Chain A
């Protein structure tokens, strides 16, 4: 998304020019930022016409600037709060209509005026307090705006808290109609950047962790797990436990954990398995490299084993030298400066903005178990020896379904997160995907994979468009966790079978190269399709396509010929 985004449009009741400048320096690549004349929010929202798919609109208002009855409330006039909420509904409906014409809308939540105590002691009393009313207004906005799938609410309160005493800037307001201090706009710009990263599918997905003095206090190789500082009646031990709890919480959002540590593997795993205060156990880690080798090399090998890219990785290590080694070797790995005090490990982790995603699916929550199952599969492979024979032992089942309300969210997530096995790297929102798939000349399959170790979930998309005797594969994307199990060949079988049934005599695929999708090119090169031009692949559809022996294909849509 960020590579294709043309412009950010600011709509505000205050002078947002300063915010626009921070956006220009915080987001890569630098966007074009357009600040509409401030104080004309309703005019700006109603004047927009037509479609502007390359624009991201940011709507940042003070509630007293756009909700007239709230301005009265904040002057302590006696106004029924339901009247305020009715005006919020109108404002929300206007925003939903506006959102239909742009790529995304980011709406900044409302806050009470910084420094204002409202009604003091009773400011949270329903029907009276201003703080209570603002909270209800925000919840009301969130509920009314949930109908727009391309609209996201950002938390202004978080930026105000981060700015502390510098959140308010009275002189900037009087001189320039800028209501907040520079730190507020800087934090807001960082969050917008994180949101755009998440929507572009570039959120980080793997945290690689050191062990000694990172996950626990002390060196396990010195005195065994019994000598570690972890939990117990010790404030530092508690801090390490709390840090592990925060990591486990992130794992539930779909972020995976892994370990790279210079230790004896048996000693380290003994601690992970047996220390009574360990929150994270062996099954919580997608993988590990615990040995005395260079951490950068170990990290690269581990990431490759997990079929992820280095740009997906965050590396956390208490050692400055180790961090420098990884940072300098792999600039695409995020290596945050790590504090020396374990008491702030958790807050430092939670301050990272690199995990924002547009949706959290059930599959995200189960992804940890899927990685554990994958470890078992690999262990089985090592015992069997022959790759194809091993694949047959997995009982791989592929279900092919059309796009539906039940799977469109996950399908859109795949479009926006898959980088390696991806033919055209199209980034589509849910409405865009539904619109594209509704064309009668196009057919899209959402592919779900499972085997005897468990489900891998909806992990593949293949789409075909028919034009006369030529079938064009428009989309071909597959999650890295099921790559190499003949699911790619099965998806190609789906496309070719459909093309033959529609009278096509050839099937083509135009590969769009990016820095990360070389695995897709390599698959096309070994698939039997012929290269017919600049990244163009073709196959004549003379004979019946062949389904891989190790796969059972189940049509749940009734449309696989």
Chain B
């Protein structure tokens, strides 16, 4: 199980991610929709997102974070996207990545 690091606002971040997932799921057939849970796999083995899907999800999340938590977070990072053990592997690792970015500001 992925543990969220004790960074402030993690619940808000997860709430924003889940809102985005619910919107994102509108383009997926019912059997491939993302589950709102930290252990949901996004990319790599067991993940449902292709490159366009990941780009779309991250762009939606950047906008949602700006609206939800007032944070300007940059997620479309080429380096991280290429690594299957990178921060976009699961919902939980994505949330940690966002929290870390906020914490570094």
User: Is B59 a contact partner of A25 (Cβ separation < 8 A)?
Assistant: no
Q: Is the interface of B mostly helix, strand, loop or mixed?
A: helix
**CB-CB contacts of B32-70 with A at 8 A, as 1s and 0s?**
000000000000000000001001100110110000000
Q: Is the interface of A mostly helix, strand, loop or mixed?
A: helix
Q: How distant is the Cα of A118 from the Cα of B10 in the complex, in angstroms?
A: 43
User: Is A172 a contact partner of B29 (Cβ separation < 8 A)?
Assistant: no
The segment out of A16-24, A449-457, A467-475 that lies at the interface is A16-24
Q: In the complex, what residues of B have CB within 8 A of residue A347's CB?
A: none
Q: How distant is the Cα of A175 from the Cα of B51 in the complex, in angstroms?
A: 10
**CB-CB contacts of B76-101 with A at 8 A, as 1s and 0s?**
10000000000000000000000000
A112 CB within 8 Å of chain B = no
Nearest CB in chain B to that of A176: its residue: B55
With contacts A17-B52, A18-B52, A182-B23 taken as known, whether A172 is within 8 angstroms of B28 at the C-beta atoms is no
Nearest CB in chain B to that of A165: its residue: B63
Q: Which one of B24, B29, B59 contacts A169 once the chains associate, using CB atoms below 8 Å?
A: B59
B104 CB within 8 Å of chain A = no
Q: Which one of A22, A30, A171 contacts B62 once the chains associate, using CB atoms below 8 Å?
A: A171
Size of the A side of the interface (Cβ < 8 Å), in residues, is: 18
Which residues from 13 to 31 on chain B have a C-beta closer than 8 Å to any C-beta of chain A? 23-24, 26-29
Nearest CB in chain B to that of A171: its residue: B59
User: Is B76 a contact partner of A175 (Cβ separation < 8 A)?
Assistant: yes
A186 CB within 8 Å of chain B = yes
Nearest CB in chain A to that of B50: its residue: A17
A341 vs chain B, min Cβ distance (A): 25
Nearest CB in chain A to that of B75: its residue: A171
Q: In the complex, what residues of B have CB within 8 A of residue A186's CB?
A: 26-27
A202 CB within 8 Å of chain B = no
Q: How distant is the Cα of A31 from the Cα of B55 in the complex, in angstroms?
A: 25
A256 CB within 8 Å of chain B = no
Nearest CB in chain A to that of B74: its residue: A171
B55 vs chain A, min Cβ distance (A): 5
Select the residue from B28, B56, B60, B62 with max chain A CB neighbours within 10 A.
Answer: B56
User: Is A22 a contact partner of B27 (Cβ separation < 8 A)?
Assistant: yes
Q: How distant is the Cα of A20 from the Cα of B62 in the complex, in angstroms?
A: 23
B81 vs chain A, min Cβ distance (A): 10
A15 CB within 8 Å of chain B = yes
Q: In the complex, what residues of A have CB within 8 A of residue B56's CB?
A: 18, 172, 176, 178, 182
Q: In the complex, what residues of A have CB within 8 A of residue B63's CB?
A: 166
User: Is A176 a contact partner of B52 (Cβ separation < 8 A)?
Assistant: yes
Nearest CB in chain A to that of B53: its residue: A21
Q: In the complex, what residues of B have CB within 8 A of residue A178's CB?
A: 52, 56
Q: Which one of A22, A30, A169, A175 contacts B26 once the chains associate, using CB atoms below 8 Å?
A: A22
User: Is B55 a contact partner of A21 (Cβ separation < 8 A)?
Assistant: no
Nearest CB in chain A to that of B78: its residue: A175
Q: How distant is the Cα of A529 from the Cα of B27 in the complex, in angstroms?
A: 51
User: Is A182 a contact partner of B26 (Cβ separation < 8 A)?
Assistant: yes
Q: How distant is the Cα of A15 from the Cα of B26 in the complex, in angstroms?
A: 18
User: Is A175 a contact partner of B59 (Cβ separation < 8 A)?
Assistant: yes
Q: How distant is the Cα of A62 from the Cα of B56 in the complex, in angstroms?
A: 20
User: Is A18 a contact partner of B27 (Cβ separation < 8 A)?
Assistant: yes
In the A-B complex, the 3 residue pairs with the smallest Cβ-Cβ separation, listed nearest first, are: A21-B27, A171-B59, A175-B55
A-B contact pairs, 11 of them (CB 8 A): A18-B56, A21-B27, A22-B27, A25-B27, A30-B29, A171-B59, A175-B59, A182-B23, A182-B26, A182-B56, A182-B60
In addition to A24-B29, A171-B76, A185-B27, 9 A-B residue pairs with Cβ atoms within 8 Å of each other are A17-B52, A22-B27, A25-B27, A30-B29, A169-B59, A171-B59, A172-B55, A175-B59, A176-B55
